Structure 1
Amino acid sequence: MRKSALVAMRALGFVWASPNSLLGLLLGGVGMLFGSKPRFNRREFALVFHFWPWGPGGAITFGNVILHSGDTLDSPCITYEHRAGRRVHPYIVLGDHERAHVFQYMVLGPLFLPAYLLCGGISVRNPFERAADRYALTGKGWWPWPADER
Protein backbone atom coordinates (compact mmCIF):
# COMPACT_ATOMS: atom_id res chain seq x y z
CA MET A 1 0.00 0.00 0.00
CA ARG A 2 1.29 3.44 -0.86
CA LYS A 3 2.36 5.64 2.03
CA SER A 4 -0.11 8.40 1.08
CA ALA A 5 -3.01 5.91 1.12
CA LEU A 6 -1.89 4.57 4.52
CA VAL A 7 -1.70 8.11 5.95
CA ALA A 8 -5.18 8.89 4.58
CA MET A 9 -6.61 5.68 6.09
CA ARG A 10 -5.06 6.45 9.48
CA ALA A 11 -6.47 10.00 9.37
CA LEU A 12 -9.93 8.62 8.59
CA GLY A 13 -9.52 6.13 11.44
CA PHE A 14 -8.64 8.94 13.86
CA VAL A 15 -11.75 10.88 12.80
CA TRP A 16 -14.01 7.79 12.89
CA ALA A 17 -12.76 6.90 16.40
CA SER A 18 -13.04 10.51 17.64
CA PRO A 19 -16.35 10.14 19.58
CA ASN A 20 -14.65 7.48 21.73
CA SER A 21 -11.43 9.48 21.87
CA LEU A 22 -13.40 12.44 23.24
CA LEU A 23 -14.65 10.24 26.07
CA GLY A 24 -11.05 9.19 26.75
CA LEU A 25 -9.91 12.83 26.72
CA LEU A 26 -12.62 13.76 29.20
CA LEU A 27 -11.65 10.93 31.54
CA GLY A 28 -7.96 11.71 31.05
CA GLY A 29 -8.60 15.37 31.89
CA VAL A 30 -10.32 14.37 35.13
CA GLY A 31 -7.39 12.05 35.87
CA MET A 32 -4.97 14.95 35.39
CA LEU A 33 -6.59 16.66 38.37
CA PHE A 34 -5.35 13.69 40.41
CA GLY A 35 -1.86 13.33 38.93
CA SER A 36 -2.33 11.59 35.58
CA LYS A 37 0.25 12.69 32.97
CA PRO A 38 -0.59 12.81 29.23
CA ARG A 39 1.95 11.91 26.55
CA PHE A 40 1.41 11.16 22.88
CA ASN A 41 2.76 7.75 21.95
CA ARG A 42 3.41 7.42 18.20
CA ARG A 43 3.87 3.66 18.37
CA GLU A 44 0.41 3.18 19.89
CA PHE A 45 -1.21 5.91 17.73
CA ALA A 46 -2.65 7.28 20.96
CA LEU A 47 -2.51 9.90 23.65
CA VAL A 48 -1.63 7.98 26.80
CA PHE A 49 -2.56 9.24 30.26
CA HIS A 50 -0.01 7.57 32.55
CA PHE A 51 -0.53 7.24 36.31
CA TRP A 52 -4.32 6.94 35.89
CA PRO A 53 -5.45 7.04 39.54
CA TRP A 54 -8.47 4.68 39.51
CA GLY A 55 -9.28 1.10 38.68
CA PRO A 56 -7.62 -2.24 39.30
CA GLY A 57 -4.46 -1.38 37.34
CA GLY A 58 -3.39 -1.88 33.78
CA ALA A 59 -4.92 0.12 30.95
CA ILE A 60 -8.15 0.83 29.12
CA THR A 61 -8.49 2.31 25.64
CA PHE A 62 -11.09 4.77 24.33
CA GLY A 63 -10.49 5.49 20.64
CA ASN A 64 -7.00 6.96 20.33
CA VAL A 65 -6.69 7.58 24.07
CA ILE A 66 -5.27 5.09 26.57
CA LEU A 67 -5.77 5.47 30.33
CA HIS A 68 -2.89 3.67 32.05
CA SER A 69 -2.23 3.20 35.75
CA GLY A 70 1.53 2.84 35.39
CA ASP A 71 4.43 4.83 34.00
CA THR A 72 5.15 2.86 30.79
CA LEU A 73 3.16 0.73 28.37
CA ASP A 74 6.30 -1.36 27.87
CA SER A 75 5.43 -3.32 31.01
CA PRO A 76 4.87 -7.08 30.79
CA CYS A 77 1.47 -8.59 31.51
CA ILE A 78 -0.31 -11.90 31.00
CA THR A 79 -2.99 -12.70 28.44
CA TYR A 80 -6.66 -13.10 29.31
CA GLU A 81 -6.49 -16.84 28.53
CA HIS A 82 -3.44 -17.22 30.79
CA ARG A 83 -5.18 -15.35 33.63
CA ALA A 84 -8.28 -17.56 33.23
CA GLY A 85 -6.16 -20.72 33.41
CA ARG A 86 -7.04 -21.79 29.85
CA ARG A 87 -3.50 -21.64 28.43
CA VAL A 88 0.02 -20.80 29.44
CA HIS A 89 1.35 -17.97 27.30
CA PRO A 90 4.57 -16.02 27.58
CA TYR A 91 4.26 -12.51 28.93
CA ILE A 92 3.04 -9.90 26.46
CA VAL A 93 3.71 -6.16 26.36
CA LEU A 94 0.76 -4.09 27.56
CA GLY A 95 1.28 -1.44 24.86
CA ASP A 96 1.02 -4.06 22.11
CA HIS A 97 -2.30 -5.26 23.53
CA GLU A 98 -3.69 -1.71 23.79
CA ARG A 99 -2.46 -0.83 20.27
CA ALA A 100 -4.68 -3.64 18.95
CA HIS A 101 -7.66 -1.96 20.65
CA VAL A 102 -6.69 1.37 19.06
CA PHE A 103 -6.74 -0.31 15.64
CA GLN A 104 -10.11 -1.92 16.44
CA TYR A 105 -11.54 1.50 17.37
CA MET A 106 -10.15 3.04 14.19
CA VAL A 107 -12.09 0.50 12.13
CA LEU A 108 -15.33 0.36 14.14
CA GLY A 109 -15.42 3.96 15.41
CA PRO A 110 -18.55 4.66 17.49
CA LEU A 111 -19.69 1.05 16.97
CA PHE A 112 -16.74 -0.33 18.96
CA LEU A 113 -18.08 0.11 22.50
CA PRO A 114 -21.51 -1.44 21.83
CA ALA A 115 -19.88 -4.34 19.93
CA TYR A 116 -17.28 -4.81 22.67
CA LEU A 117 -19.92 -4.88 25.40
CA LEU A 118 -22.18 -7.24 23.41
CA CYS A 119 -19.21 -9.60 23.04
CA GLY A 120 -18.73 -9.88 26.81
CA GLY A 121 -16.89 -6.77 28.00
CA ILE A 122 -13.63 -7.24 29.87
CA SER A 123 -13.50 -11.02 29.69
CA VAL A 124 -11.57 -13.93 28.22
CA ARG A 125 -14.74 -14.75 26.24
CA ASN A 126 -14.54 -11.45 24.36
CA PRO A 127 -13.07 -11.88 20.84
CA PHE A 128 -11.77 -8.28 20.99
CA GLU A 129 -9.62 -9.15 24.02
CA ARG A 130 -8.46 -12.46 22.54
CA ALA A 131 -7.51 -10.64 19.31
CA ALA A 132 -5.58 -7.99 21.26
CA ASP A 133 -3.72 -10.76 23.11
CA ARG A 134 -3.02 -12.57 19.82
CA TYR A 135 -1.64 -9.35 18.33
CA ALA A 136 0.53 -8.77 21.42
CA LEU A 137 1.85 -12.35 21.18
CA THR A 138 2.50 -12.46 17.42
CA GLY A 139 2.32 -8.93 15.96
CA LYS A 140 -0.56 -10.11 13.75
CA GLY A 141 -4.30 -10.63 14.02
CA TRP A 142 -5.69 -7.59 15.85
CA TRP A 143 -9.08 -7.96 14.12
CA PRO A 144 -11.44 -10.01 16.34
CA TRP A 145 -12.66 -12.35 13.60
CA PRO A 146 -9.76 -13.49 11.45
CA ALA A 147 -10.55 -15.36 8.24
CA ASP A 148 -9.31 -18.68 9.68
CA GLU A 149 -11.91 -18.54 12.49
CA ARG A 150 -14.96 -17.97 10.21
Structure 2
Amino acid sequence: MLGAVWTSPNTLIGLAAGTTAMLAGARPSWNGRDCAVVFREFPWGPGGAITLGNVILHTGPVLDVPCRTYAHQAGHATEPVIGLHDHERAHVYQYLVLGPLYLPVYLLCGGVSARNPFERAADVYALQGRGWWPRWRYFRVKSV
Protein backbone atom coordinates (compact mmCIF):
# COMPACT_ATOMS: atom_id res chain seq x y z
CA MET A 1 0.00 0.00 0.00
CA LEU A 2 2.87 2.37 0.79
CA GLY A 3 4.31 1.71 -2.67
CA ALA A 4 1.02 2.74 -4.28
CA VAL A 5 1.08 6.01 -2.33
CA TRP A 6 4.77 6.51 -3.16
CA THR A 7 4.16 6.09 -6.90
CA SER A 8 0.86 7.99 -6.94
CA PRO A 9 2.30 10.95 -8.95
CA ASN A 10 3.09 8.48 -11.76
CA THR A 11 -0.30 6.81 -11.37
CA LEU A 12 -2.03 10.18 -11.68
CA ILE A 13 -0.23 10.81 -14.98
CA GLY A 14 -1.38 7.40 -16.20
CA LEU A 15 -4.95 8.00 -15.05
CA ALA A 16 -5.02 11.40 -16.78
CA ALA A 17 -3.78 9.85 -20.04
CA GLY A 18 -6.21 6.94 -19.75
CA THR A 19 -9.17 9.14 -18.91
CA THR A 20 -8.41 11.39 -21.87
CA ALA A 21 -8.09 8.31 -24.09
CA MET A 22 -11.56 7.17 -23.02
CA LEU A 23 -12.89 9.99 -25.22
CA ALA A 24 -11.34 8.10 -28.15
CA GLY A 25 -12.56 4.65 -27.08
CA ALA A 26 -10.12 3.38 -24.43
CA ARG A 27 -11.75 1.09 -21.87
CA PRO A 28 -10.52 0.90 -18.26
CA SER A 29 -10.65 -2.09 -15.94
CA TRP A 30 -8.98 -3.08 -12.69
CA ASN A 31 -6.58 -5.98 -13.01
CA GLY A 32 -5.78 -7.30 -9.55
CA ARG A 33 -3.22 -9.74 -10.94
CA ASP A 34 -1.19 -6.89 -12.41
CA CYS A 35 -2.00 -4.48 -9.52
CA ALA A 36 -3.06 -1.87 -12.04
CA VAL A 37 -5.86 -0.10 -13.82
CA VAL A 38 -5.52 -1.23 -17.43
CA PHE A 39 -6.76 1.03 -20.20
CA ARG A 40 -7.33 -1.27 -23.17
CA GLU A 41 -7.55 -0.05 -26.76
CA PHE A 42 -5.46 3.02 -25.93
CA PRO A 43 -5.66 4.91 -29.23
CA TRP A 44 -2.20 6.50 -29.36
CA GLY A 45 1.30 5.12 -29.69
CA PRO A 46 3.13 2.60 -31.83
CA GLY A 47 1.50 -0.46 -30.24
CA GLY A 48 2.09 -2.51 -27.14
CA ALA A 49 1.85 -1.09 -23.65
CA ILE A 50 3.36 1.45 -21.30
CA THR A 51 3.14 1.47 -17.51
CA LEU A 52 2.83 4.62 -15.42
CA GLY A 53 2.69 3.78 -11.73
CA ASN A 54 -0.34 1.54 -11.18
CA VAL A 55 -1.73 2.23 -14.66
CA ILE A 56 -1.06 0.26 -17.82
CA LEU A 57 -1.97 1.84 -21.15
CA HIS A 58 -2.36 -0.88 -23.78
CA THR A 59 -3.20 -0.42 -27.45
CA GLY A 60 -4.80 -3.85 -27.83
CA PRO A 61 -8.10 -5.34 -26.65
CA VAL A 62 -6.49 -7.66 -24.04
CA LEU A 63 -3.23 -7.39 -22.11
CA ASP A 64 -2.74 -11.15 -21.91
CA VAL A 65 -0.95 -11.50 -25.27
CA PRO A 66 2.37 -13.04 -26.27
CA CYS A 67 5.26 -10.79 -27.24
CA ARG A 68 9.01 -10.99 -27.81
CA THR A 69 11.55 -9.86 -25.25
CA TYR A 70 13.53 -6.71 -25.97
CA ALA A 71 16.76 -8.75 -26.15
CA HIS A 72 15.21 -11.13 -28.69
CA GLN A 73 13.89 -8.29 -30.85
CA ALA A 74 17.29 -6.57 -30.79
CA GLY A 75 19.10 -9.79 -31.73
CA HIS A 76 20.98 -10.02 -28.41
CA ALA A 77 19.42 -13.36 -27.45
CA THR A 78 17.08 -16.06 -28.65
CA GLU A 79 14.29 -16.34 -26.11
CA PRO A 80 10.75 -17.74 -26.08
CA VAL A 81 7.79 -15.41 -26.24
CA ILE A 82 6.60 -13.89 -22.98
CA GLY A 83 3.28 -12.57 -21.72
CA LEU A 84 2.93 -8.82 -22.11
CA HIS A 85 0.92 -8.68 -18.87
CA ASP A 86 3.81 -10.31 -16.97
CA HIS A 87 6.31 -7.83 -18.45
CA GLU A 88 4.13 -4.85 -17.53
CA ARG A 89 3.46 -6.25 -14.03
CA ALA A 90 7.22 -6.17 -13.41
CA HIS A 91 7.22 -2.46 -14.26
CA VAL A 92 4.38 -1.90 -11.78
CA TYR A 93 6.53 -3.54 -9.08
CA GLN A 94 9.51 -1.40 -10.09
CA TYR A 95 7.37 1.74 -9.79
CA LEU A 96 6.22 0.66 -6.32
CA VAL A 97 9.85 0.68 -5.18
CA LEU A 98 11.14 3.82 -6.92
CA GLY A 99 7.94 5.88 -6.94
CA PRO A 100 8.47 9.32 -8.49
CA LEU A 101 12.14 8.49 -9.09
CA TYR A 102 11.27 5.69 -11.54
CA LEU A 103 10.86 7.75 -14.72
CA PRO A 104 14.10 9.75 -14.37
CA VAL A 105 16.09 6.63 -13.42
CA TYR A 106 14.49 4.63 -16.24
CA LEU A 107 15.36 7.34 -18.77
CA LEU A 108 18.94 7.62 -17.44
CA CYS A 109 19.26 3.85 -17.97
CA GLY A 110 18.45 4.21 -21.65
CA GLY A 111 14.66 4.47 -21.95
CA VAL A 112 12.88 1.96 -24.16
CA SER A 113 15.84 -0.22 -25.09
CA ALA A 114 17.06 -3.82 -24.88
CA ARG A 115 20.01 -2.50 -22.86
CA ASN A 116 17.87 -0.83 -20.19
CA PRO A 117 18.20 -2.93 -17.01
CA PHE A 118 14.58 -2.23 -16.10
CA GLU A 119 13.37 -3.61 -19.43
CA ARG A 120 15.66 -6.63 -19.15
CA ALA A 121 14.42 -7.32 -15.61
CA ALA A 122 10.81 -7.11 -16.80
CA ASP A 123 11.63 -9.60 -19.56
CA VAL A 124 13.36 -11.95 -17.10
CA TYR A 125 10.36 -11.74 -14.78
CA ALA A 126 8.02 -12.56 -17.67
CA LEU A 127 10.25 -15.51 -18.65
CA GLN A 128 10.84 -16.93 -15.17
CA GLY A 129 8.11 -15.53 -12.89
CA ARG A 130 10.73 -13.95 -10.62
CA GLY A 131 13.48 -11.35 -10.75
CA TRP A 132 11.55 -8.17 -11.53
CA TRP A 133 14.27 -5.97 -9.99
CA PRO A 134 17.27 -5.20 -12.26
CA ARG A 135 20.32 -7.36 -11.75
CA TRP A 136 23.02 -4.93 -12.74
CA ARG A 137 25.58 -7.65 -13.53
CA TYR A 138 23.63 -8.41 -16.72
CA PHE A 139 24.42 -4.96 -18.02
CA ARG A 140 28.17 -4.57 -17.79
CA VAL A 141 29.72 -2.98 -20.82
CA LYS A 142 32.35 -5.21 -22.33
CA SER A 143 35.69 -3.53 -22.84
CA VAL A 144 37.21 -3.56 -26.31
What TM-score do you get using the length of structure 2 for normalisation? 0.94
Q: Which amino acid aligns with 2:128?
A: T
Given the alignment, which residue of 31, 44, 68 partners 2:58? 68
**Aligned residues: percent identity?**
64
Counterparts of 1:39-118 in structure 2 under 5 Å? 39-118=29-108
SS of 1:38's equivalent? strand
- State the 1:149 CA deviation: 7.8
Question: For residues 146 and 86 of structure 1, what CA distance do their matches in structure 2 show?
Answer: 17
Question: For residues 60 and 139 of structure 2, what CA distance do their matches in structure 1 show?
Answer: 34
What TM-score do you get using the length of structure 1 for normalisation? 0.90
Matched-pair contact (CA < 8 Å) for 2:115–2:139: no
Question: For residues 52 and 108 of structure 1, what CA distance do their matches in structure 2 show?
Answer: 25
Given the alignment, which residue of 30, 35, 38 partners 2:25? 35
Q: CA RMSD in A?
A: 1.5
Matched-pair contact (CA < 8 Å) for 2:37–2:54: yes
Matched-pair contact (CA < 8 Å) for 2:36–2:54: yes
- State the 1:146 CA deviation: 6.2
Structure 1 residues without counterparts, runs of 5 or longer: 1-10
Aligned length: 140
Q: Which amino acid aligns with 1:93?
A: G
Q: Which amino acid aligns with 1:90?
A: P
SS of 2:114's equivalent? coil
The list of structure 1 runs, each at least 4 consecutive aligned residues, that deviate by more than 4 angstroms after superposition, is: 146-150
Question: For residues 18 and 134 of structure 2, what CA distance do their matches in structure 1 show?
Answer: 26
- State the 1:86 CA deviation: 1.0
SS of 2:7's equivalent? helix
Question: For residues 108 and 77 of structure 2, what CA distance do their matches in structure 1 show?
Answer: 24
Compared with structure 1, are the counterparts of its residues 147 and 126 closer, same or farther at alpha carbon in structure 2 (3 Å cutoff)?
closer
Question: For residues 41 and 146 of structure 1, what CA distance do their matches in structure 2 show?
Answer: 30
